[in-house]
Amino acid sequence: MAATIDIKEFLDEKVLFYNQPEFISSDPIQVPHRYQLKEDIEIAAFLTATISWGNRKMIIKNAGRMMDLMGNSPYDFVMHYDQDSIDQYVHRTFNTTDLNFFIRSLKNIYENHDGMEMAFLKNVTGNNVQEGIHHFKKLFFEIEHPLRTLKHVSDPLKGSAAKRINMFLRWMVRKDSAGVDFGIWEGLLPSQLSCPLDVHSGNIARKLGLLHRKQNDARALAELDASLRAMDPLDPVKYDFALFGLGVFEKF
């Protein structure tokens, strides 16, 4: 459902308010902002996004601990990784087994698939990245893997809203003057991105009439994407700042 002009103006104002450098200090995106090298940013962002559910302070703390375990040089650590060299880590259901596999898989991606950006680009078609995420998951688990770890990478073609990967892609692809998102991937366009749909953004979107489906799943994401693209077809996921801010900070 297309938004009214009043809703668009309201959300545009909230985007300007929340999409500011000050946002970084309270958000998990602060962890990849520690780095300058593209590959360091990608790895830190992907691992941080992967554990981004639950308490935000705990997410930031545990993402920082991952970086500490990697010597705060994630790309160098990945490329020189010794088998299962991390011996103790846990964030909720993401544990040592999962982290060791993620590092092995990232090493495979950089060594054999030209890096993270190309791993996504290979299978993105049309105006959204959801099929690309599906194929990325297949590639990510092409090497031997523990079955328990499959659940930590979502698949939109199996009904998931894939919130954490869509958030990671927003970080990598969007670029604006505020400097919150990195915009270091030039092969994808902001217009292809989907909103990181979670309980906060979903609830606000329903209150504003942008979303009617009750579940936060792939079908709801498609509905929300259509509403956001009607307001800004070139950069629809900028409204993630507004929906998230209204839900988390303003309790709208």
pLDDT in tens, 146-181: 999 999 999 999 999 999 999 999 999 999 889 999
What percent of the chain is modeled with pLDDT above 70?
A: 98
CA–CA distance, 1 with 87 (Å, rounded to integer): 49
Q: Is the pTM of this model over 0.75?
A: yes
* Confidence check: pLDDT of 195 > 90: yes
CA–CA distance, 187 with 117 (Å, rounded to integer): 8
Tell me: the pLDDT tens digits for 73-120? 999 999 999 877 788 878 888 999 999 999 999 999 999 999 999 999
Tell me: the pLDDT tens digits for 3-34? 566 999 999 999 999 999 999 999 999 999 99
The band of 1, judged by pLDDT with boundaries at 50, 70 and 90, is very low
Q: Mean pLDDT across the chain, nearest whole number?
A: 93
The band of 43, judged by pLDDT with boundaries at 50, 70 and 90, is very high
Higher pLDDT, 122 or 108: 108
pLDDT for res 5: 64
pLDDT for res 85: 77
**Residue spans per domain, the chain:** 5-248
Contact 64/32 with Cβ under 8 angstroms? no
CA–CA distance, 245 with 99 (Å, rounded to integer): 30
